[in-house]
Chains A and B, each alone.
Chain A
Amino acid sequence: EPEVTQTPSHQVTQMGQEVILRCVPISNHLYFYWYRQILGQKVEFLVSFYNNEISEKSEIFDDQFSVERPDGSNFTLKIRSTKLEDSAMYFCAIRQATEKLFFGSGTQLSVL
C-alpha cells in the first residue's frame, strides 16, 4: 500500500491566520486529493489535483483554499484566513492507476 505522510499531525491556529498543511506521497501518483472530516461526521471531498492543476473541487473549497505542488513532491493545502468552522481533520489521498484512494493519517486543525 502506498505511503502518504502528512505534516503536521496537529495544528492549532488563531482565527484569521493562514495555515499550510503538507502531504508527502512516497512515490509518483496520478491524482492527489484533499478531504476533510469534521468531528463525528463523514469524510468530505475538497479538491482533486491532476497534472499540476485542479481537476475538480467542492463547494467547500472556496477562495480561501488553494493547493499546489511547489517542488514536484510535496502537495500542500493552504487556508488563507482560517475560520472556526475550518476546524477538522484534513486528509490527503493519492491514487494510482486504479480507483483506490490511499489516505494519509491526517492533520488535526484546530482554529481558536
Chain B
Amino acid sequence: GESVGLHLPTLSVQEGDNSIINCAYSNSASDYFIWYKQESGKGPQFIIDIRSNMDKRQGQRVTVLLNKTVKHLSLQIAATQPGDSAVYFCAESGNQGGKLIFGQGTELSVKP
C-alpha cells in the first residue's frame, strides 16, 4: 500500500553544520514529492518540491535529492541555523486530486 516514512525521528546538529533528513516511500507511482517544515503550534510550511523526472533540486540553503531506484528522498540544509529547528515532513502525491501523503516527521534540533 501507499506509505511514506522517515528513517530517524530526531536529528540534532551543531549550528553551522549541514543537516540531512531522509525519507523513504513505497509507492512507485508517486510522481511528486515535497518537504514541509512545521514549527510548534503552526501549520506545515512549504520548503521545496521535486517531480519524479528530476533527481535534484536546489533552493535557498536547501537541496532535495530523489533516488527513484531505492525510493528515497532527502532534504539537505546547508549551514543550519537555530531558526531551522522544527519538525520536517516529507510528502508524496501520485494522483490528479493532489492528495498528499505525509511521512512521520523528523524533529531537527540545532545546538548553538
CB interface residues, B 26-61, toward A, < 8 Å? 32, 34, 36, 41-46, 49
Q: Which of A11-19, A48-56, A66-74, A75-83 participates in binding chain B?
A: A48-56
Residues of chain A with a CB closer than 8 A to B100's CB = 45, 101
Residues of chain B with a CB closer than 8 A to A50's CB = 97
CA distance A44 to B109 in the complex (A): 24
> Quick check: B105 and A42 within 8 Å, CB to CB?
yes
10 residue pairs A–B, Cβ–Cβ below 8 Å: A33-B98, A42-B104, A44-B102, A45-B102, A48-B98, A50-B97, A55-B97, A56-B95, A56-B97, A105-B42
CB interface residues, A 6-62, toward B, < 8 Å? 31, 33, 35, 41-45, 48, 50, 55-56
Count A-B pairs with CB separation below 8 Å: 56
Q: How many residues of B contact A (CB 8 A)?
A: 23
